[in-house]
Amino acid sequence: MSGEADRPPRQRRQLWISPQSSIDDGATLVARYAHLIASPSCQQTLSFLSFIDGNQTGGVFMRRTFGLALLFVLTFTSLSFAQAVTSGTGAINGKVTDNTQAVMPGVTISLTSPSLMGVRSAVSDADGLYRFTAVPPGDYVLLFELAGFSTVRNEGIRVSLGFTATVNAELKVASLSESIVVTGQSPVVDTSATQIGNSFDAKQLAALPTSRDYFSLLAGSPAVQMSRIDVGGSTNGTQQGFVVYGTTGQVRANIEGINATEATGAFGNYPDVGAMEEVQINTAAHSAEASTPGVQSQFISKSGGNQFRGTFFGGYSNESWQATNIDADQIARGLLGGGGLLPTDVNRLSAYQDENVGLGGYLAKDRLWYYGSYRHQDIKARFVNFPVKPQQTILNNYSAKFTYNLSQNNKFIAYTQLSQKRQPQRFDSFLLGVDTGINTSEATTWNQNFWAWVHKAEWNGVLSDNAFAEIRGGQYGYDWTNGVNGTGLRYEDISNNLIYGRNRNWKRERRRNQVLGTLSLFRSTDFGDHNLKIGGEIFQESVNDIYLDGYEEDLVHVMQNGVPLDIIFFQAPNVSQNGLWTYGTFINDTWRISDRVTANVGGRFDRYRAFLPGQEHAAGRYNPSVITFAAKDNVVDFNLFAPRLGMTFDVTGNGKNVMKVNYGKYWWNPGADFLFNVNENSNAWWRRHRWTDANRDGRWNEGEQGALVSSRGGAAIESLDPNLENSRTDEIAAFFEHELMANFGVRTGYVWRGVRNQYARINAAQPYSAFTVPVQVPDPGPDGRLGTADDGAALTAYDLDPAFRGRTPINMTTNVAGGDASYHTFEITGTKRMSNDWSLLASYGYTKSFDNGQTAFLGNTVRQNALPATPNDKINTAEGRYEYSRQNVKLSGTWNSPWWGISVSPMLRYQQGFPFGRTFAATLSYGSVRFLAEPLGTRRQDAITIADIRIEKTAKVGARRDISVFFDIYNLTNDNPAQNLQWSSGTAFDRPLSIVPPRLARIGLKLNF
Please, what are the averages of pLDDT over each run of 10 residues along the chain (1009 residues)? 39 34 38 45 44 47 46 42 61 90 92 91 89 89 91 91 89 73 79 91 91 92 92 89 94 96 91 95 96 96 95 96 95 83 90 97 96 97 90 97 93 97 94 88 95 97 81 98 95 94 95 96 85 96 93 95 95 94 97 94 98 94 91 95 97 95 98 91 93 95 94 86 96 97 95 96 94 97 95 97 91 94 97 94 97 84 92 95 96 96 96 96 92 95 97 92 96 96 93 95 96
- pLDDT confidence of residue 10: 38
- pLDDT confidence of residue 337: 79
> Positive or negative CA dihedral for 152, 158, 161, 164?
negative
- pLDDT confidence of residue 85: 58
Helix (H) or strand (E) holding 685: strand 685-691
Between CA 427 and CA 820 the distance in angstroms is: 32
- pLDDT confidence of residue 175: 62
Q: Which of 964, 950, 966 is nearest to 1008 (CA)?
A: 964
Residue 434 to residues 342, 346, 386, 907, Cα–Cα distance (Å): 22, 16, 11, 28
Tell me the CATH class for 309-1008: mainly beta
What's the alpha-carbon Rg for the chain, to the nearest Å?
Answer: 30
Residues of the chain with CATH 2.40.170.20: 309-1008
- pLDDT confidence of residue 634: 93
Between CA 758 and CA 851 the distance in angstroms is: 12
Would you say domain 1-10+85-187 falls under CATH 2.60.40.1120? yes
Between CA 780 and CA 786 the distance in angstroms is: 4
- pLDDT confidence of residue 31: 45
Q: Which of 574, 534, 567 is nearest to 553 (CA)?
A: 567
Q: Which of 611, 636, 667 is nearest to 814 (CA)?
A: 636
CB 973: neighbour CB atoms within 10 A? 11
- pLDDT confidence of residue 409: 86
- pLDDT confidence of residue 466: 67
- pLDDT confidence of residue 157: 92
pTM: 0.88
Are 737 and 189 a contacting pair, CB within 8 Å?
Answer: yes
Cis status of the peptide bond prior to 573, with omega within 30 of 0: yes
Helices (H) and strands (E) counted in the chain, each on its own, are: 6, 62
Between CA 287 and CA 646 the distance in angstroms is: 8
- pLDDT confidence of residue 831: 95
Are 551 and 485 a contacting pair, CB within 8 Å?
Answer: no
Residues of the chain with CATH 2.60.40.1120: 1-10+85-187
What is the DSSP code string of 755-811?
A: EES-EEEEETTS-GGGEEEEEEEEE-TTTT-TTSTT-EEEEEEEEEPGGGTTPPP-E
